[in-house]
Every structure is written in C-alpha cells, then in structure tokens.
Amino acid sequence: MISKRISMLLSSVSLVYLLITWFSFTEGQERQAPRISRIRRTPIPLSTGRPEGGIPPLFKETWTPQEMKIPKEATAPVTLEFKNMDLIDVLKIISDKGKLNIIMGPSVRGKVTLFLEKVRIWDAFELILELNNLAYVPKENIIKIITESDYEKLYGKKFYDNRRRKIFPLKYARAEDIYRTLSQAKTRIGQIIVDERTNSIVIFDNPEEVKRVGEIISQLDVPVTTQVFKLNYSTPAIIEKLIEKFISISGRIETNAQTNKIIVTDIPANIKRVARIVKEYDENPYIITKAFTLNYADPDKIEAKLTKELTKDVGNIEVDKRTNKIIITDLPYKIARMGKIIAALDEKTKEVRIEAKIIQVVLSDNFKMGVNWEFVLSQYHGLDIKQTFNTLADTDPGSRVTVGTIADDKYTGLLEMLKTIGKTNILSNPRITVTDNEEAKILVGSTIPYKTTDTVEDGGVIKTYERVTMVDVGVQLQVTPQINEAGFVSMKIKPEVSSVTEYRNNVPVVETSQTETNIMVKDGTTIVIAGLIKDEEIKTVNKFPLLGDIPLLGSIFFKKTNKELKKTELVIFLTPYIISGDMQTKERVKGPLLRLQSDYQD
C-alpha cells in the first residue's frame, strides 16, 4: 500500500516538472520573437515605374489642361516619311521641327509608318498620337504625352471630350459657303456643322483651333458687293468660264453680250480675285493662232510641256509632224509666253564623244591577283582613284574594280607600267558619240547563239518551232553622260561582267555581276576602269615563216598552236569630249550600241 502511494507521488511530481518545463520554453520563445523580427528582412518588390493597373509615378500629378498657343513653327507645312520607325524618335523629329517641348511617360512606345506631304507639323503630331492611342496635356509651353487610358483615369473623361463647342452666327455670308472654306481648317478631332435654319456655323475642336477658325469666319462673313466689269477685248462668255469656279454659292454672275459687260456679286475677297483675272485676260484683244517650226526638239515632247500652259477651255495645241511644227491657239500673251518656252527648249543638243581604249593585260605569275592600284597611286601622282568595288561572277573572287581619273601627262607612263606586269594587247579603240543624257553601250566579249524550242497548239495540231536567241557575254559598259553648265561631264558608268558557266539542255547559263558608279570629270579628262580579272584561254601560235602558211601541211609540220589558261585583267580608258549639236561626226550611231568582238573566246 505504501509503495503504491509512493509511486503515485512520483508520477505527480513528474507531471508538475513537465508542465513547468513546457511553460518555461513557451515564455522563452515569446521573449526571443522580437529579436528575430528585428533581424529578418522582408523583400521589397522593385518599382517598375508603372504599378499594375495604375498610373506611372512621375505622371500621377494631374495637370490642369490649359489653352496652348501653337508655336508658329508648328503651323508650317512639312513632308514626312517614316517606315517602321521608333515612336520616340519620330516625336523627337516633330519636336525639333515644330519647336515643341514634349515630355513622355514610360508607356509611350511603338512604331510609326506614314507618308505625309505638305501637312502642318501640328496636324502630323496629332495624327501620330492618334495612331498610337496616345493623348496630350498642354500646360504653359510644355506638352505631356500619356496613353488615352491614363488620360481617362486622370481626368475622368476621354481625351477627345476635351473639345469645345462654339456657335458662330453669320450676318452676311451663307453658312454653306463658309463651310467649304473651313472644312480644310479643322483639326483631325474637329467637327464643323452647318445650321441652315439659323445660318450658323457650329465648331467642335480644341480651344486653339476654335479661336483660329473664328478669325477666319470674321474675314469671310462680310457684306457682298457688286462690281461691273466692262470688257475691252474679250467676251463675257469667255470670262464667265474663267471666273465661275471662284464664285461662292451665294455669289452671282450676270453677262450682257450687247454691252460686253459682266456683273459679279460676291464677297469682297472673291470680287478682288475676279478683278485680277479680268484684268489679266482682257488686256489681250482676241484669241489668235500661231505656228512654231522646230529645228531640233521633238514636237511631241514640246506639246507635253506646253499643255499645262494653255488657257483652260480656250487654248489648243496641234502637232504637224510632217513639217515639224506646233500650232497653238490661245490668248496673245499666253502664246508669247509659250513662244519663249519653245525657244528655250528648241536649241542645239549638246553631244558627248566618248573615246575608249580597251587593253588586255595577260598577268605574269607575280601579279596573279591583279594590279595593286593603291601602289600605282603612290607612284603616279596624276592618278586619282575615285571608287573601288567588289566584282562577282566568274572573275577572280578577291578582285576589286577601281574607277579613277588620270592626268594627260601620266597616260603614257601608266601604259609603260602595265607592260611591266604582263603582256599588253589593245583589244579595241572605239569612238562613240551620244547626245546629252543618252545611254551608250560598249561590249567587249562575244555573242553566243543558242536554240530554243516553242510548242504551240494550232487548231488541235501541236506545232514545234525553233528559234535562235543571242546572248552577250564578256565585259559590257553602259555609259550615260550628262553635261552641266560649268563644262563638266557627269558619267554614270555601269560595268557588267558576265560569262557562261555551264549549259543546261543546250541553253547557256550566264552568270552576271554588275555595279554602278557616278563620276564627274572635266571635258577631256580620262577615266580609268581597272580590276576586271578573268581566267582566259590564251592561244599562242609558233610557225616557220612562209612554210607555216602552207594549207594542211603547214599546220601539221610547220605550225604549232599552244593553249594556256592565264589570268587577264582588262583596263579601260574612257575620255569624254563635249561637242556642239550641229557637228557631224563619222562615229555617230543611232541608238548607240557598239559591239567589239575580242580576240579571245570565253
């Protein structure tokens, strides 16, 4: 019994000890908690500048939109062409051109593609914003650009609700007449309404535009006046046709053929314009017809230029190609003006004679990569390299074409230098004369014929036709000279290198590489084109004198022909000379195409 009581006592003591230990541990945890919270760091999210669903921090301030006077520079016309350009860069250009102070939020981004011609800078600015769903808030001389959604959050209304309405009652002019003029004055967000019942104009637009339109209306809404014009030479019917398009809807024209008078009633601005037209056209007694003989110009081209000079509904032009004449019917002062135009255009056409020298240089083993023209330039100070460019096709992969000019006294020295790098051979020395701004073509190479087959069905019968097609391969030069008043010739040179790489179904595959360059030289200056390197099959003939020319036997016993693959470089010299249009030259060709067959085959 005693042992049982002792056991229960020990159990109670153990339970009390466990409870005390648990309470002590809990209290210790509570005391240590503040220390843990002090050293713990809760991560703070980085600001992106635009909280989710909110307004950019820098733009949370709600500006009170103010009336802004558009800078004078921003009302100037401008032509803009942007293709997939960054929006911020576009706005920077608009800011510079229109003298606009612009700030932008982080949401202003996008691409712009537009082509505008002669529009106000401010109109272009508003259009660009509209295309990118943007709005603007003017304050003093600063324009803040934000998105349309941010504008609505800040101001509680849509951006385009910022327009003002104003009614302009008209005293004298008809609202319909005023509307025709004002329709071109409103902005892209503006609206003009005609109230015929009250003869009023209602404007919805931004404050600045409403003010500007009001100034225009005040200039147009003036009393109409009537003026009588007594014609001295012309007739009322002719003058009526000329002025009717300038009269407003409320205006009126009356004619009196017996008194040769025309009576016009309209606003003063239109009356003033009519008076100017009447004075201009009535100073001439009547319509006349005059024929002009052309000595040099093409009558069709002259007709095209003169058509826009004719008096509308009065003038007329006829071309007589048999006599090369232009016959004009119009008012005398108009015919006098067109006569001056004809005299200026019907002049002797200047021509350019191009003297070329095509030299083939069979490169020695030391110059397999061609001539180092940079080295040549350092040796010959009279040689001026203008441009270099790579060539493709079957020319040497690393070759570069060089275009430059050379002084007259250095020409012979350059030829002697070429002889030191390989055997030289003058392939041809052509001369060709072309009119100013006309293209000339020079071919150094060969024309390769090949057959093609065409199959057609004729009445249920299939027929096959063969035709021969020619293709030019080698080195071609297209040269277009243009003369300026200072005596210089601008030469547009288009070299082309082509060769047959293979035959497919008996049709040659031609690989072509071409480029284009412009060089301006003084009359008589020589142009050098070098660097056209190709692999050529060079034929060398060795024979005994006289014996080698004996038919059959000579070629078998006394003559030997060797073929060797060599690298060659073509050096082309072009010298333009300006000549007057009346000079007759034996070298002149029509639609010039000079084919120079080389001494080698591709």
Q: What is the pLDDT of residue 62?
A: 53
Assess whether pLDDT exceeds 80 at residue 244: yes
14-18, 167-171, 346-350 — which is least confidently predicted? 14-18
**Same domain membership, residue 253 and residue 199:** no
Strands of 382-506, DSSP E: 383-390, 400-406, 422-428, 431-435, 440-458, 461-483, 488-504
Name the burial class of residue 166, with classes exposed (0-12), middle (13-18) and buried (19+) by CB atoms within 10 angstroms of its CB: middle
**How far is residue 219's CA from residue 421's CA, in Å, rounded to a whole number?**
83
How many CA atoms are closer than 13 Å to the CA of 360, on its beta-carbon side?
20
pLDDT-based confidence at 434, cuts 50/70/90?
confident
In this prediction, residues 77-93 reach a mean pLDDT of: 88
Cβ contact 182:217 at 8 Å: yes
Strands of 206-259, DSSP E: 225-230, 252-256
Domain limits for position 268: 225-282
Q: What is the pLDDT of residue 52?
A: 41
Question: What separation in angstroms does the CA of 293 have from each of 136, 305, 347?
Answer: 64, 16, 12
Give the domain-ending residue among 109, 136, 160.
160
The separation between CA 211 and the C-alpha centre of its own chain, rounded to angstroms, equals: 38
Assess whether pLDDT exceeds 50 at residue 392: no
CATH code for position 135: 3.55.50.30
Structural domain contains residue 386: yes
Q: What is the mean pLDDT of the chain?
A: 74
Q: Which token pair is 151?
A: 């504008």
512-521, 551-560, 583-592 — which is least confidently predicted? 583-592
In this prediction, residues 521-533 reach a mean pLDDT of: 83
In the DSSP assignment, the letter for residue 588 is B
The most distant pair of C-alpha atoms in the chain lies apart, rounded to whole Å, by 159
**Same domain membership, residue 124 and residue 172:** no
Assess whether pLDDT exceeds 80 at residue 164: no
Q: What is the pLDDT of residue 50?
A: 40
**Same domain membership, residue 368 and residue 506:** yes
**Same domain membership, residue 531 and residue 397:** yes
In this prediction, residues 542-566 reach a mean pLDDT of: 64
Structural domain contains residue 8: no
**How far is residue 547's CA from residue 553's CA, in Å, rounded to a whole number?**
8
Q: What is the pLDDT of residue 309?
A: 87
> Closest by alpha carbon to 475, among 599, 598, 367, 352?
598
**Same domain membership, residue 368 and residue 496:** yes
* Domains identified in the chain, total number: 5
**Same domain membership, residue 248 and residue 116:** no
Instruction: Round to the nearest angstrom and report the end-to-end CA distance of the chain.
Output: 132
**Same domain membership, residue 167 and residue 156:** no
> Residue 335, SS3?
helix
pLDDT-based confidence at 583, cuts 50/70/90?
very low
In this prediction, residues 285-289 reach a mean pLDDT of: 74
In this prediction, residues 332-350 reach a mean pLDDT of: 86
> Closest by alpha carbon to 495, among 356, 362, 591, 372?
356
> Closest by alpha carbon to 441, among 245, 324, 596, 294?
596
% of the chain with per-residue pLDDT over 90: 5
Q: What is the pLDDT of residue 211?
A: 82
Cβ contact 320:327 at 8 Å: yes
Q: What is the pLDDT of residue 229?
A: 92
Cβ contact 401:495 at 8 Å: yes
CATH code for position 214: 3.30.1370.120
**Same domain membership, residue 422 and residue 502:** yes
**Same domain membership, residue 246 and residue 155:** no
Better-predicted residue by pLDDT, 101 or 36: 101
**How far is residue 99's CA from residue 250's CA, in Å, rounded to a whole number?**
41
Residue where the block lists tokens 């009390």: 16
Q: Which token pair is 337?
A: 């003006």
Assess whether pLDDT exceeds 90 at residue 406: no
Cβ contact 297:581 at 8 Å: no
The separation between CA 302 and the C-alpha centre of its own chain, rounded to angstroms, equals: 28
Structural domain contains residue 463: no
Structural domain contains residue 20: no
Assess whether pLDDT exceeds 60 at residue 68: yes
Q: Kindly give the interhelix angle for 268-282 and 236-243, rounded to the nearest 10 degrees.
A: 130
Structural domain contains residue 99: yes
Assess whether pLDDT exceeds 50 at residue 378: yes
In this prediction, residues 50-78 reach a mean pLDDT of: 61
Q: Cβ of 385: how many Cβ atoms within 10 Å?
A: 16
**Same domain membership, residue 168 and residue 79:** no
In this prediction, residues 548-555 reach a mean pLDDT of: 65
Structural domain contains residue 42: no
Phi, psi of 35 (to 5 degrees): -65, -40
Q: What is the pLDDT of residue 558?
A: 57
Q: What is the pLDDT of residue 592?
A: 38
The arrangement of strands across the sheet holding 325-330 comes to 288-293, 325-330, 316-320
**Same domain membership, residue 520 and residue 378:** yes
Assess whether pLDDT exceeds 80 at residue 43: no
Assess whether pLDDT exceeds 50 at residue 39: no
Structural domain contains residue 402: yes
**Same domain membership, residue 520 and residue 383:** yes
Structural domain contains residue 26: no
Question: What separation in angstroms does the CA of 215 have from each of 60, 73, 211, 218, 219?
Answer: 37, 19, 7, 5, 7
16-25, 249-258, 330-339, 379-388 — which is least confidently predicted? 16-25
Give the domain-ending residue among 109, 131, 160.
160
Radius of gyration of the chain (CA): 44
**How far is residue 163's CA from residue 431's CA, in Å, rounded to a whole number?**
73
62-66, 122-126, 307-311 — which is least confidently predicted? 62-66
217-226, 288-297, 463-472, 533-542 — which is least confidently predicted? 533-542
What does 261-294 look like in DSSP terms, one character per residue?
Answer: EEEEEE-HHHHHHHHHHHHHHHTS-S-EEEEEE-
**How far is residue 531's CA from residue 516's CA, in Å, rounded to a whole number?**
15
Q: Tens of pLDDT along 99-128?
A: 899 998 788 888 888 888 888 888 888 888
Better-predicted residue by pLDDT, 74 or 163: 74
In this prediction, residues 291-319 reach a mean pLDDT of: 86
Supply the pTM of this predicted model. Answer: 0.43
Cβ contact 74:125 at 8 Å: yes
Amino acid found at 285 = P
Assess whether pLDDT exceeds 90 at residue 67: no
**What dihedral angle (degrees, nearest 10) is formed by the CA atoms of 560, 563, 564, 569?**
110
